[in-house]
Amino acid sequence: MPPNEYSRNDVDEPVEVVAYDPAWPEAFKCEQAALLPLLSPEAVAAEHFGSTAVPGLTAKPVVDVLIGLRHYPPSERVLATLSQSGYVCLGEAGVPGRHYCRKREAARATGRLLAYSERKADVMASLLERARAWAGLPSGAA
pLDDT in tens, 55-109: 899 999 999 999 989 899 999 999 999 999 999 999 998 888 889 999 987 666 6
pLDDT tens track for 10-50: 555 678 899 999 999 999 999 999 999 999 999 988 888 88
The torsion angles phi and psi of 124, rounded to 5 degrees, stand at -65, -40
Please determine, for residue 139, whether its predicted confidence score (pLDDT) is greater than 70.
Answer: no
pLDDT computed for residue 45 by the predictor: 87
pLDDT tens track for 108-126: 667 787 787 766 556 666 6
Distance CA 62, CA 52 (A): 7
Distance CA 15, CA 123 (A): 25
Q: Does the domain formed by 3-135 have CATH 3.30.479.10?
A: no
